[in-house]
């Protein structure tokens, strides 16, 4: 079997043979050299080529298109970016409203491209259900979250409260307490999107070289083992693999997220559970869980991140029994009828986390660098925004996209916040993760004394706040 098939359920489901494109075997000159054929690199190439077809654009990919997080993710295409409320908080309300509109429009923008380029990736825009079910504190956190969103100027059409009865019309989970629904999200089959995009940009004339890892980069030049590309612009679009392009790794750490998929479930099971319109769902806690019903009727469910000392990449995603069972436990709490279901796929991937836990889109004219990343596990939609923004920045446009608080214009790479050196990073990251796990365990045990519950919440909340 082609080893790339085992990357994820999604890559396994592709009907194409996954034959790699040719590797770079000579030196060449281009206008734009993009490193990485994931969503960021491909969206950037797409929007550049549409606006400036004369540009010579070359993409260098270490493995094959979709090898990274873009071929492995949970398939939530969100009209949000990580930390948007913090990024937008200080804007005058009219500008903040416009920025939210821009973000909320991401799934529709992607849908338009899918239609135009005939990319079929099981796109369904059913929104997200953020649910409270396992402990009462989730309910108060959800209510506070909704209040906060409404204070930002968002209204019921953006984020709506659902009683357990309302929620039950869309999703039946055990012991439901309440939920928030937002329409600004679609679910997709991630690998079909990234592979479809690669085909689309190749058809537009973008040159993609696969199995061509960039080993060295500097202003105007990237090198692989067998060739090099001289270019006016270099776009490192490697997200969770930033450590492969020093010094980028100082600003974007690799964090791992792990995910499982069940066998296709019967009509009867789905009649009990729901999720008929492609809704994504999450159980609202600091544990970050994410699920969707795939087009072929599996439950796909991911949770929690991990970080390796020194920012080492994880390359082996054969999940251990414990890793699989933890995810089974988490979805089994919501869907007791699935506790013993067969898991056919379990995998994970590296994603990029920026020091301030929010994405950046940066352009430095002097060094010819254009960069988008730090999506922190919310990059499916954000990378589309990133690609559009980088295209405008490179083309020298002054547009709505280039005037957002996440855009750093005419700034060098070291303008971005750096992660602390080791062992501080590892200690900090693990202290946070441990406090989140502890909080979750304490709260999920409904017999725990109130003071212990409050303490666990306070510690996790304080650590989370401190890191930001």
Ligand X SMILES: Cc1cc2nc3c(=O)[nH]c(=O)nc-3n(C[C@H](O)[C@H](O)[C@H](O)COP(=O)(O)OP(=O)(O)OC[C@H]3O[C@@H](n4cnc5c(N)ncnc54)[C@H](O)[C@@H]3O)c2cc1C
83 near ligand X, rule: CB under 6 A: no
Q: Which of 137, 158, 239, 392 binds ligand X (CB under 6 A)?
A: 239
| Per-residue binder mask for ligand X (CB under 6 A), 404-423, x = binder | --------------------
Task: Please select the residue that binds ligand X; options are 37, 334, 361, 433, rule is CB under 6 A.
Answer: 37
In the DSSP assignment, the letter for residue 183 is S
Q: How far is CA 131 from CA 104, 182, 183, 443, 448, in A?
A: 20, 12, 14, 15, 22
If binding is defined by CB under 6 A, does position 131 make contact with ligand X?
no
CA gap 108, 184 in Å, rounded:
9
**Does the protein bind ligand X through residue 68 (CB under 6 A)?**
yes
Angle at CA of residue 167, ends 165 and 169, nearest 5°: 80
Q: How far is the CB of 271 from ligand X (least distance, A)?
A: 25
Alpha-carbon gap, residue 352 to 316, rounded angstroms: 17
If the CB atoms of residues 84 and 239 are measured against ligand X, the closer one turns out to be: 239
In whole angstroms, the minimum distance from the beta carbon of 407 to ligand X comes to 16
67 binds ligand X (CB under 6 A): yes
Q: x-or-dash pattern for ligand X, window 263-292, by CB under 6 A?
A: ---------------------------x--
Per CB under 6 A, the list member of 135, 301, 375, 419 interacting with ligand X is 375
Show the beta-strand stretches assigned E in 238-332: 252-262, 280-283, 289-293, 299-306
Q: Is 130 among the residues that bind ligand X (CB under 6 A)?
A: no
Residue matched to tokens 């929010």: 358
As a whole number of angstroms, the distance between CA 66 and CA 38 comes to 5
Structure-token pair, residue 308: 């390796």
Strands (E), 219-276: 221-223, 228-236, 252-262
Q: Note whether 432 binds ligand X by CB under 6 A.
A: no
End-to-end, the C-alpha distance of the chain in Å comes to 44
Tokens linked to 163: 């009683």
Choose, by CB under 6 A, the member of 34, 198, 229, 245 that binds ligand X: 245
Angle at Cα 131 formed by Cα 130 and Cα 137, nearest 5°?
Answer: 115
Asked if 73 interacts with ligand X (CB under 6 A), we say yes
Question: Per rule CB under 6 A, is residue 39 in the interface with ligand X?
Answer: yes
- Applying the rule CB under 6 A, the residues between 194 and 233 that interact with ligand X are 213-214
Q: Helix or strand or coil: residue 246?
A: coil
Q: Does 57 participate in binding ligand X (rule CB under 6 A)?
A: no
Q: Which of 7, 55, 61, 127 binds ligand X (CB under 6 A)?
A: 61
**Which candidate, 73, 71, 9, places its Cα nearest to that of 42?**
71
Contact (CB, 8 A) for 253 and 241: no
**Per-residue x/- track, 317-356, ligand X (CB under 6 A):** -------------------------------xx-x-----
User: For ligand X, which is the closer residue by CB, 220 or 461?
Assistant: 220
Residue 244 or 389 having the CB closest to ligand X: 244
Minimal distance, residue 242 CB to ligand X, in Å: 8
Q: Where are the alpha helices (DSSP H) in 291-423?
A: 321-334, 379-394
Binding ligand X (rule: CB under 6 A), the pick from 131, 167, 176, 238 is 238
Residues that bind ligand X (rule: CB under 6 A) add up to a total of 45
Contacts of 403 (CB under 8 A, 6+ apart): none
* Residues 6 or more apart whose Cβ sits within 8 Å of residue 328: 260, 339, 343
Give me 242's structure tokens.
């930033």
Closest approach of ligand X to the CB of residue 234, in Å:
12
Q: Binding to ligand X by residue 237, rule CB under 6 A?
A: yes
Binding site for ligand X (CB under 6 A): 35-41, 60-63, 67-70, 72-76, 78, 213-214, 237-241, 244-245, 257, 259, 290, 302, 348-349, 351, 373, 375, 377-381, 383
């Amino acid at each position: 079997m082609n080893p790339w098939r085992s990357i994820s359920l999604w890559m396994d489901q592709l009907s194409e043979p996954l034959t790699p494109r040719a590797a770079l075997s000579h030196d060449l000159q281009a206008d734009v050299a993009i490193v990485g054929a994931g969503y960021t690199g491909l969206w950037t190439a797409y929007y550049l080529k549409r606006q400036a077809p004369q540009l010579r654009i070359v993409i260098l990919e270490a493995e094959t298109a979709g090898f990274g997080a873009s071929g492995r993710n949970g398939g939530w295409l969100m009209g949000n970016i990580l930390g948007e409320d913090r990024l937008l908080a200080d804007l005058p309300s009219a500008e903040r409203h416009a920025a939210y509109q821009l973000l909320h429009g991401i799934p529709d923008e992607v849908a338009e491209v899918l239609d135009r380029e005939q990319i079929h990736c099981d796109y369904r825009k059913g929104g997200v259900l953020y649910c409270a079910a396992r402990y009462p504190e989730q309910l108060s956190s959800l209510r506070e979250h909704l209040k906060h969103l409404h204070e930002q100027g968002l209204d019921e059409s953006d984020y709506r409260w659902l009683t357990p009865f309302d929620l039950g019309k869309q999703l039946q989970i055990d012991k439901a307490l309440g939920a928030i629904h937002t329409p600004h999200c679609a679910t997709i089959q991630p690998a079909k999107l990234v592979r479809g995009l690669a085909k689309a940009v190749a058809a537009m004339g973008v040159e993609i070289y696969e199995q061509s890892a960039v080993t060295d980069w500097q202003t105007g030049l990237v090198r692989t083992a067998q060739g090099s590309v001289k270019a006016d612009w270099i776009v490192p679009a490697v997200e969770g693999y930033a450590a492969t392009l020093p010094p980028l790794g100082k600003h974007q750490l690799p964090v791992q997220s792990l995910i499982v998929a069940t066998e296709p479930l019967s009509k009867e099971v789905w009649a009990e559970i729901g999720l008929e319109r492609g809704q994504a769902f999450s159980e609202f806690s600091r544990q970050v869980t994410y699920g969707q019903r795939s087009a072929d009727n599996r439950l796909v469910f991911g949770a929690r991140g991990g970080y390796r000392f020194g920012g080492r990449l994880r390359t082996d995603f054969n999940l251990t029994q414990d890793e699989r069972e933890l995810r089974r436990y988490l979805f089994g709490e919501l869907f007791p009828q699935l506790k013993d279901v067969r898991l056919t796929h379990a995998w994970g991937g590296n994603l990029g986390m920026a020091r301030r836990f929010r994405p950046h889109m940066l352009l430095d004219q002097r060094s010819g660098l254009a960069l988008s990343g730090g999506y922190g596990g919310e990059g499916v939609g954000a990378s589309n925004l990133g690609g559009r923004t980088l295209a405008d920045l490179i083309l020298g446009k002054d547009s709505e996209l280039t005037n957002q608080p996440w855009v750093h214009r005419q700034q060098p790479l070291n303008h971005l916040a750096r992660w602390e050196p080791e062992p501080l990073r590892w200690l900090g990251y693990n202290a946070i993760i441990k406090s989140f796990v502890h909080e979750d365990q304490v709260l999920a045990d409904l017999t725990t004394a109130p003071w212990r519950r409050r303490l666990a919440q306070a510690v996790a909340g304080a650590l989370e706040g401190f890191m930001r």
